[in-house]
Chain A
């Protein structure tokens, strides 16, 4: 909160933190956040309900979001949704009885070159075949991907450790928007002098690289491939600085 000129700006990140704690937004959490940011619970609710990533009912530990937008659709996304429904024994937008999986159809995830693709708790996988999907579900269920895919609600595992407090007070407005003290451990506000939680600078990709066995080929997070993508397929003569991005001679 201390990072923003006005506390309400912290609302979305703080809602994410609340969702990180419970996996969804409880009413208590929304009331508490309203008090924290000096706005009404209705305002908190009004904002939260606008955004697709916030849930106001419990969701599974693993939220599987399958993209069905154009690039994925024309590469079999709806067939993948059908298959996923069969494998999990549920319809889209519902949760398995054991609370492990929620399945949803999603809009473009900006991973269209890996179509059809999906995210699990917003960690990317693609392209995903039916077999990949089944393996992925097995691995998730067995906890083999726990390091790559944190529980639902956990978005950013890197905490800010640096920075200036926001430039306050805000000129020309009534009241000091910063009158509320920043509470320790409120995450986003941890920057301004509050002791920072331990920093884990490893990203999912790096964890994979560090030897955690991820799902086998096909279900590997996209992460490190973003580089490979630019380099072009292995075996071509593209050096590290002359990628597919540097288009070769004329046609």
Chain B
């Protein structure tokens, strides 16, 4: 079990909502617009990054509130409780900060305590949209296992912006300065490539063990953005300068990588499969990944409107797999019936107009 309790203050339509005594399965029920997804989004912010909706910071503070927001949770680690939190101070609305056991901490540190993954209706388009979404999904999977990934990704991002800025200059960029930036890009980019490749390898092996039913089994591969060797990546970047300069931006590197997904058996790109098959492959990916998590690393799975959209057979299989795994699961739905199988063991809250009430 991961989160023992959760508190939302001025988070979207929640003025103040508390989820106490969370369990292995946690069920949020309510009408459309009640604030269920908002609650999952709040949990997603207990990890580095922009959260489940990739929202701008200004969007999340409650309309009519202080302009700030806070999310707090008690994380159970063995017999201990670690207090995790994140907030936006109304005085500094452009900044999200983390608190761990009462002390301020960089956001990346949250990842050292907890892995958070999610499946949302918006991700139904993951296999058909541009590679950016798949890269972010892949990085989430890596991050859940390897907290250091956030540091490399942030550094890489900054170095990339620096290099692109120099490339866009009218004047020829200072080659020594370029080399300094590329050294950073290469160091952090190679580390990213290495971690991504290692995860895709492990995940492929885990997926290969799975049956092709009831969840369509995905074959995955990484279209890697350059080498996982820092020196090789640095040389490649240096050699690519003229072409990058005509493009006005960096054309090679891990920011161009893609996660390639095919449906096993049919050998068809995931993007060409039916909506239902795509969803099933996404679920298979997330479940296989959860199986890779070390026993002592808490993982939270946020399943937004996932269960209700599956047929009864797949839904039962999903619940079985989740029960066998070790992740704590937060599920949302508009109706009780689809969750009958886990109702006895689940904590259930009714969500209505930004308020929550424990029902079982």
A binds B: no
Q: Which residues of A contact B (CB under 8 A)?
A: none
